[in-house]
Amino acid sequence: MKRTSWIDVLLISSIFTLTVIIGLFIFISGDSKFQYSFSSTSNSNEETKKIPNEKNPIVQVQSKYEGIQIYKETSKDPTIPYTVLYPITDFVKLNDQIKQYIENAKQQYITAVRLQNNIDKSVPSNLNINLNIYKYKENYYSLVFTKQESINGQFTDESFNTIFFNQDSGEVINSKALFNKNVSNLEKLSKYVYQKMLEPEGYKENINLSQWKKVSYPYWIYYDRFAIVNETFILYYNKGEFANEKIGSPTISIPLSFLNPILAPEFQSKTKADKTITSPSKGEKVNSKRVALTFDDGPNNTTTLQILKTLDKYEAKATFFMVGTQAKSNPSIVKEVWARGHEIGNHSWNHVNLTKQSSKNIQWQYDTTNNVIFNLIGQYPTVFRPPYGAKNKQVTELIDVPVVLWTIDTLDWKYKDSSKLLPNIQNNIKNNAIILMHDIHQSTANGLDSVLSYLQQEGYECVTVSELLGD
Q: Which residues are catalytic?
A: 296, 438
Of 193 and 440, the one with the shorter C-beta distance to Ni ion is 440
Shortest separation between residue 386's beta carbon and Ni ion, angstroms: 9
Of 89 and 304, the one with the shorter C-beta distance to Ni ion is 304
The alpha carbons of the chain give a radius of gyration, in whole angstroms, of: 28
Of 11 and 405, the one with the shorter C-beta distance to Ni ion is 405
Task: Give Cα separations from 170 to 85, 93, 96, 130, 263 (angstroms).
Answer: 20, 8, 12, 22, 20
Which residue is nearest to Ni ion, using beta carbons? Answer: 296
> Angle at which helices 2-30 and 32-40 pack, to 10 degrees?
70
Shortest separation between residue 348's beta carbon and Ni ion, angstroms: 8
Shortest separation between residue 418's beta carbon and Ni ion, angstroms: 20
Of 224 and 296, the one with the shorter C-beta distance to Ni ion is 296
Shortest separation between residue 326's beta carbon and Ni ion, angstroms: 10
Cis status, amide bond into 299, omega within 30 of 0: yes
In contact, 164 and 228? CB cutoff 8 Å = yes
Shortest separation between residue 279's beta carbon and Ni ion, angstroms: 39
**Residues of this chain that bind Ni ion (CB under 5 A):** 296-297, 387
Question: Quick one: three-class SS letters along the chain?
Answer: CHHHHHHHHHHHHHHHHHHHHHHHHHHHHHCHHHHHHHHHCCCCCHHHHHCCCCCCCEEEECCCCCCCEEEEEECCCCCCCEEEEEEECCCHHHHHHHHHHHHHHHHHHHHHHHHHCCCCCCCCCEEEEEEEEEEECCCEEEEEEEEEEEECCCEEEEEEEEEEEECCCCCECCHHHHCCCCHHHHHHHHHHHHHHHHCCCCCHHHECHHHHHHHCCCCHHHHCCEEEECCEEEEECCCCCCECCCCCCCEEEEEHHHHHHHCCHHHCCCCCCCCCCCCCCCCCCCCCCEEEEEEECCCCCCHHHHHHHHHHHCCCCEEEEECHHHHHHCHHHHHHHHHCCCEEEECCCCCCCHHHCCHHHHHHHHHHHHHHHHHHHCCCCCEECCHHHCCCHHHHHHCCCCECCCCEECCHHHHCCHHHHHHHHHHHCCCCEEEEEECCCHHHHHHHHHHHHHHHHCCCEECCHHHHHHC
CA angle 43, 44, 47 (to 5 degrees): 105
